Structures are given as C-alpha cells and as structure tokens.
A and B are shown apart, each in its own frame.
Chain A
Amino acid sequence: MTEIAVSVLVVVGALFTFIGSLGLARLKDFYTRLHGPTKATTLGVGALLVASVIHFSSGEDMPSLHELLVTLFLFITAPVSALMLAKAALHLRVRSAASLLSGTDDDADAGEQSG
C-alpha cells in the first residue's frame, strides 16, 4: 500500500519538476519563464519529499519527518527568489512580451524590507 503511494508520488513529483524545466526552456520571454520554476518545480520537489517521508516512516516506530523541513524551506524561499529575480529583470529592462506598466523601473532600494 505504501509502496504504491510512494511510487505515484515519486512519478508525479518528477513529472512536475520536468514540466517546470520544460517551461524554463520553452517559453518566450523572461517573465513567463519565471512561472515554471517557481510553481511547478517547487510543488514537484515537495511531492518527492512527501514520498520520502512516507518511504522512511513506513515500518519504523518513529516517523521520519525531517524532509518536511526542506519542503517548508523551499515553499518559503521560492517566491522570495522569484520576486528578487523579477525585480532585477525590471531594473535591467529585460524584454517582455507584455507591456510594462509605468513606474516599474525605479530605484532598486525601494521596497527592500518586503521579502
């Protein structure tokens, strides 16, 4: 039973990781490429880590939950690095398929505390 669950989670997680990187390689401009790694890859790795929790917890009397720490850490840091990258790209005026709003390129130090 746990073997089936682990197998399904492992394949689904790896599939999402792959789709994230596919988005990175395939999409046309930087801002759309940013979506793939931040969402799909994070969830994919999260699913793999949950699979790891189930795998190492089955048959033991004490659950092995420390993989959750990596999951939590990734879910907190992925949006922060995406925000930083988007800010850097707006600052460098990277070409975008969507029209930029006015006032998007201001001083880099503005809004520093928000992360």
Chain B
Amino acid sequence: MLSIALIIAITLVCAALLLSLLRLLIGPDEPDRVLALDTLYINTIALLVLLGILLDSDLYFEAALLIAMMGFVGTVALCKYLLRGDIIE
C-alpha cells in the first residue's frame, strides 16, 4: 500500500517540478523566474523526502536540510539583486 502511495506521490511531485520549470522558462518578469526557482527547490525537498521513505534511508535528510537553507539564502540574495541592482555594496 505504501509503495503505491509513494509512486502516486512521486508522480505528482515530478509533475509539480515540470510546471515550475515551465514558469521558469516563460517568465515573463524577473520576479516570476525567482519565484519559480523558489518553488523548484521546495519541490526538490519534497522529492528527496519521498526518496528517503522509499529507500528507507535516513541519509537524505541532511541533503533536504541543506537545500532548504541554501535555497532560502539564494532567494533572498536574488530579491536583493532585483531591489538594488547589486548584491554586495
């Protein structure tokens, strides 16, 4: 039962990844692309967690935590760039 649920879930998350990628490609404005990147990394965390449950391995947790932290920092840095035109003054 769990394996069927996991297959459904992984399919849904992959579809979500494709939709975010679509938004990343068509834009049309810069904030749209940054938002798409933000959504992409959160979807990646979802995929990693599902993979961890599927393979019954605890190792993917560290990767998920690191992606969460780095992704947030990246989004904030990109927003600062959009607001000011440069990151380090």
Q: Do chains A and B touch in the complex (CB under 8 A)?
A: yes
Q: Which residue of A lies closest to B64 (CB)?
A: A70
CA of A91 to CA of B31, assembled, Å:
10
Q: Contact: A81 with B83, CB < 8 Å? A: no
Question: Using a Cβ–Cβ cut-off of 8 Å, how many residues does chain B contribute to the interface with A?
Answer: 48
Binary interface encoding of chain A residues 21-62 relative to chain B, with 1 for a CB under 8 A from any of its CBs, else 0: 110110000100110110001101100110110011000000
CA of A25 to CA of B17, assembled, Å:
11
Residues of chain A lying within 8 A (CB to CB) of residue B82: 88, 91-92
Q: Contact: A81 with B72, CB < 8 Å? A: yes
Task: Pick the residue among B8, B17, B38, B49 that contacts A48 (CB under 8 A).
Answer: B49
- Could you give 29 example pairs across A and B, Cβ below 8 Å? A6-B5, A6-B53, A11-B5, A13-B46, A14-B10, A17-B12, A17-B16, A20-B39, A21-B17, A22-B16, A24-B19, A24-B23, A33-B35, A34-B35, A37-B42, A41-B39, A45-B45, A48-B46, A51-B49, A70-B45, A70-B61, A77-B68, A78-B42, A80-B72, A84-B79, A85-B35, A94-B31, A94-B32, A95-B29
